Amino acid sequence: MTQTTPITLIIPQDLGGLRLDQALQKLLPEHSRSRLQQWIKDGLVTLEPAQAVTAKTKVWGGERLQVQVQPSPDEHAFEAEDIPLDVQYEDEHILVINKPAGLVVHPAAGNWSGTLLNALLHHAPVVKDLPRAGIVHRLDKDTSGLLVVAKTLTAQTSLVRQLQARTVKREYRAIVWGQVWQNGRIDQPIGRHPHARTKMAINRNGKPAVTRYEVLERFAVHTYLRCNLETGRTHQIRVHMQHLKAPLVGDPVYGLGGIVPLRMMPQHLRDTILNFGRQALHAVKLGLIHPASGEFMEWQVELPADMKSLLEAMRLVPVDEVDLPFEFEGDMDDDLDDAYPEDELLDDDDEID
């Protein structure tokens, strides 16, 4: 077993009374409970002065622990690949990247190479010993924009805690179907879709999910929105916009599907939409507390060229030129009794979009 430099942790008073494995999961949230339990069993977690412990050992607050953090063996199976990265900021602690549409963040079935993780292993080899190569949140393959990666275990733990505490500032730009007439807040829990296992849905027993949206520009058939996340659930903006009955343009999963009223539009707009090829969603701004300095830092990037072109095509159509055959915008006071029932939720980290 690979040995690493041990880290020292002090059990906070507010975790007093918990089992050791439970307290460790609070302190090292980037690691699974089963992994932490295995480290304890292997003698990689000790109380100071050195004494053996078990997963069920009670902690009372104030104890000092030595933890031999072990790299995840599956991360070492991934190969470093020379994939260009649009780096917005980098130091010895964190890396902020402007991810292009089409780049998968983490290897999975069907995408074992050519991912952001593979690129990170080449760009910053130090991340090979971190869980998920320092990745603390994700964007969908076809969502573009800002994403932060940790380069040390301390930075990764800090960023995960900030995400859990909802103090990371995340702002998106979205282009949706329909004319949204006022700003709003969507507070609807999200969980697995009961029948389509790759989809998410409004689920009364899902995880809390809150999205704020603001109208930036309204067009004949569409609306340009600013979206701010208070939580980071898988497909959050996409699911919430579908619930609003203003789904994202180009969304192959939560979009309009076969009812897209292309025939109602001028040819230039129809062609632009048909050639767009992804959901119109971009993570434009990211703000967080730097894990080492404690300073609040914020980054902002421009819209990608494809979304700029889409907006320009929409601006060419007078607002009263297109007569839609149906309404898009929904009632935000819909009763959750009609929502999907309880179902198995994601075990993995939520994505931010």
In eight-state DSSP terms, residue 215 is: E
Strands 144-150 and 222-229, bridge-based pairing: unpaired
Sequence-separated (6 or more) residues with CB below 8 Å from residue 223:
175, 176, 178, 179, 180, 215, 217, 246
H or E element in which residue 241 lies: helix 236-243
Q: What are phi and psi of 169, to 5 degrees?
A: -90, 125
Contact assessment for residue 248 and residue 237, using Cβ atoms and an 8 Å cutoff: yes
Strands (E), 108-159: 144-150
Alpha carbon distance 117, 122 (integer Å): 9
42 given a catalytic annotation: no
Alpha carbon distance 188, 225 (integer Å): 19
Identify the active-site residue in 21, 140, 142, 350: 140
Alpha carbon distance 302, 282 (integer Å): 9
Contact assessment for residue 317 and residue 264, using Cβ atoms and an 8 Å cutoff: no
Instruction: Return the structure tokens found at 180.
Output: 């949204």
Q: Which residues are catalytic?
A: 140
